[in-house]
């Protein structure tokens, strides 16, 4: 009887260890790898195509979390305006629809694309809807809001149309609240300075 109990105990231990190994293996597969730059991150564009953000190396990049039913939604117009003004100098805006705040981006990617294109004539790159905050936060926004990546500009996204500005070499160099309009002097001065630094670096 004692031997039988011992055998059952041993079997239970083996099963527990095996389960632990399998669980660890599964979590390691699904776990996001650590990145040192947003250039290493893959995202899905609004048409469902995979995009590696490394394609934006040497660009001054503005990341914006967008929404179609927000009081700040008209900022699409200003974003398009500064994109048109600076795109030939190496500036790009990347729009990431998100439904985190007030449920103000409920539509599908197709509906969002139609809205942006028809209402605001958006031509800057738009991406598939993601989460920018919370347990399901996308890796890109985990990176952008982290202290390691953004330093003094780190911290949770506070509402729709927060704006992160990255230099041509991938550093996060500024952040603007939803209230700061794309055409404001503070924003355009920061873009101008980043583009000037880019041009000086490219000329060397």
pLDDT given at position 14:
40
Question: Mean pLDDT for the chain?
Answer: 89
pTM summary value: 0.84
pLDDT given at position 3:
52
| Close Cβ partners of 43 (under 8 Å, ≥ 6 residues apart) | 50, 51, 53, 96, 127, 128, 130, 138, 140
pLDDT given at position 10:
44
- Phi/psi at 61 (nearest 5 deg)? -120, 135
pLDDT given at position 16:
44
CA–CA distances in Å: residue 61 to residues 15, 38, 64, 94 = 51, 11, 10, 7
* Tens of pLDDT, residues 1-51: 545 445 444 444 444 444 443 333 333 333 467 899 999 999 999 999 999
- Tell whether the model's pLDDT for residue 59 goes beyond 60: yes
pLDDT given at position 190:
99
pLDDT given at position 1:
52
Q: Which two tokens stand for residue 74?
A: 């008209």
CATH ID of 38-203, from 3.90.180.10, 2.120.10.90, 3.40.30.10, 3.40.980.10: 3.40.30.10
The average pLDDT across 111-126 equals: 99
| Close Cβ partners of 199 (under 8 Å, ≥ 6 residues apart) | 89, 90
- Tell whether the model's pLDDT for residue 140 goes beyond 70: yes
Domain boundaries, the chain: 1-31, 38-203
| Count of C-beta atoms within a 10 Å radius of residue 14 | 10
Q: How many alpha carbons fall within 13 Å on the CB side of residue 109?
A: 14
Marked catalytic residue, from 35, 44, 51, 70: 70
pLDDT given at position 5:
47
The average pLDDT across 157-185 equals: 98
* Tens of pLDDT, residues 72-112: 999 999 999 999 999 999 999 999 999 999 999 999 999 99
CA nearest to 140, candidates 109, 172, 103, 173 = 172
Share of the chain above pLDDT 70, in %: 84
Q: Is 70 a catalytic residue?
A: yes
């Amino acid at each position: 009887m004692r031997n039988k109990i011992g055998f059952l105990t041993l079997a239970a231990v083996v099963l527990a260890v095996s389960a632990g190994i399998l669980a660890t293996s599964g979590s390691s597969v699904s776990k996001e790898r650590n990145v040192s730059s947003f250039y290493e991150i893959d995202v899905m564009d609004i048409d469902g195509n995979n995009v590696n953000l490394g394609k934006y190396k040497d660009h001054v990049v503005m990341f914006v979390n967008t929404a179609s039913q927000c009081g700040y939604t008209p900022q699409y117009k200003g974003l398009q305006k500064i994109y048109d003004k600076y795109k030939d100098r190496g500036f790009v805006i990347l729009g990431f629809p998100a439904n985190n705040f007030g449920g103000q981006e409920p539509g599908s990617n197709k509906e969002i694309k139609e809205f942006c294109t028809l209402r605001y004539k958006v031509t800057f790159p738009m991406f598939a809807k993601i989460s920018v905050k919370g347990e399901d936060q996308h890796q890109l926004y985990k990176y952008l809001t982290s202290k390691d990546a953004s330093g003094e500009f780190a911290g949770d996204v506070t509402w729709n149309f927060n704006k992160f500005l990255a230099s041509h070499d991938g550093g996060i160099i500024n952040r603007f609240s939803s209230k700061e309009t794309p055409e404001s002097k503070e924003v355009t001065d920061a873009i101008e300075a980043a583009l000037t630094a880019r041009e000086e670096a490219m000329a060397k």
